[in-house]
Amino acid sequence: MIPLIGLAIGILLGFFLKIDILSSVALYVPVSILAALDSVFGGARAAMEKKFDRDIFISGFFGNILLAAGLTYLGDRLNVPIFYAAVFVFGKRLFDNFSVMRRMFIENSRKRLKHREE
């Protein structure tokens, strides 16, 4: 629940606060946001599976952001688009977590409906 609350607060702040992103960091922000979203969806999945650990979530959240930004920076310095690797990995994990969460939600909904019918 904590990851989803954080996501909701972040989305609301993003809508109401007008923040201009400097062109020098414009590549780092989307990759970092994708890494953060991967952590949020991973935390939400862990919560649904009753395995959520706050320390693991927080360390993964900031670790993923730093790793994604670091890869992007390294690629920028080497003039190699390494950030594509971060986009691919975090994007895949995000969709994998979402699909597992969706399946769990549907299965739980079906169980509740079946239980009500009995």
Q: What pTM was computed for the model?
A: 0.76
The answer to whether 28 touches 69, Cβ cutoff 8 Å, is yes
**d(C-alpha 60, C-alpha 83), whole Å:** 18
Tally of structural domains, the chain = 1
Q: Which domain holds residue 25?
A: 2-117
Mean pLDDT of 25-36: 88
Kindly report the average pLDDT of the chain as a whole number.
88
**d(C-alpha 37, C-alpha 18), whole Å:** 21
Tell whether the model's pLDDT for residue 1 goes beyond 80: no
Report pLDDT digits (tens) over 69-86: 998 999 989 998 888 888
Closest CA to 37 of 107, 96, 84, 85: 96
